[in-house]
Amino acid sequence: SSLQLSREAGVCRSFYTSTNMQTMQQRVVRPAQRVASVRMAAPVRRTAVRVAATATVEKSSSSGAKPGAGRIYNFSAGPAILPLDVLEEAQRDLVNYKGTGMSIMEMSHRGKEYEAVIKKAEDDLRKLLNIPSNYKVLFLQGGASTQFSMIPMNLTAEGDVTDYVVTGAWSKKALEEGQKYTKANVAAKGDNKSIPPVSSWKLSPDSKYVHYCDNETIGGVEFKSVPDVGGRVLISDMSSNFISKPVDVSKYGIIYAGAQKNVGPSGVTIAIVRDDLIGKARPSTPVMLDYKIHAENDSMYNTPPCWAIYVCGLVFAKLLKEGGLEAVQKNNEAKAKIIYDAIADSNGFYANPVDPAARSLMNVPFTIPSSADLEKAFIKEAEKLGMVQLKGHRSVGGMRASIYNAMPLEGVQALAKFMREFAAKHAAK
């Protein structure tokens, strides 16, 4: 009856109100109590994580792959693998950052604690890349794709000429955006497998800048040197090979990179911009797309992606401690050689379509030319062995191993071993 329903509803409301009051009373604790309770509870949570991790290790080990601390080998192109020790430090700071009693994700970006975090991240990046003092380091939002429009908005006026070099999917997207704002000239166009010689580039005499992508994530095409563009402003998208090798920043007007491939979590884009290119935005440029606004406000005109910047800072500090970018490049060259050798030694079972002179150290695409079904089987069997995200980009198919800075040597060795075993098993069939 309606009376019975009314009474039941009243009981529910009473129980709900009572429960909420108890919950509120439990939550209203002094900061000191909160910290104490966090410290007491944290070991329990960490124990639970260790138990789950151990189970994962045992499962993977029985199949041949042996990732540490319960980790799989993640060959994703992005968001991508991060260093385990960085993740563990971030885990420790997640609930109570350096004894502040609050998470790094909770603190105000205007507070002294976070100002120290972002300042150290910038200082360490400047040391890593030896960035000259006449360049600004900006921590922005919107991904590297936002830079495709931000660059012409800040560096050109209506009717200006710009040059674009297209060597793959991402440089093509940059060109398409540049065409909306400028008279964009295609100075050179590759075949997604090679890089046209710089001597063949048809650069405009009056171009405001020359844009290219240093490493094409999808195609696995990478520049091995800085192109000489005759004194023009050179701009590079380095999203997938940023801080993977030493770079002479002074040869560029702008370097930009989305962090989620080789630096940190998704959410922050790093732009290194020469001072003389700042302050020339078109009048119609939205305030959030004006380099000058971000430079004047130390990347904190609005709330920045605090967590992502913090993790990037941990990565920068780690790389400095381990010998800088010369050591990073040496390690990356060794890892890439292992995969490329496995392809070359397969007697044609595997193929890599990229010109050897332009093969990426970060993203290695490969196929099994004889059978698309074998490619599917390869990906499935690799997953069972704890090696994931090896499926090639949907636009090209096949397989792709992204072996960024954080990919351990053991992960690359495990993949190469599996490649050889898989080829031996299926080559004669």
Catalytic residue numbers?
170, 237, 261
Q: What is the rounded CA–CA span in Å between residue 242 and residue 259?
A: 8
Tell me if the bond preceding 83 is cis, omega within 30° of 0.
Answer: no
Asked whether the beta carbons of 126 and 243 are under 8 A apart, the reply is no
Asked whether the beta carbons of 300 and 65 are under 8 A apart, the reply is no
Asked whether the beta carbons of 385 and 60 are under 8 A apart, the reply is yes
What is the identity of the amino acid at 91? Q
Listed residue (362, 396, 397, 361) closest to 379, CA to CA: 397
Give, in order, the Cα–Cα distances in Å from 230 to each of 201, 203, 227.
11, 9, 9
Listed residue (170, 243, 181, 274) closest to 213, CA to CA: 170
Q: What is the rounded CA–CA span in Å between residue 388 and residue 381?
A: 10
Q: What is the rounded CA–CA span in Å between residue 104 and residue 311?
A: 10
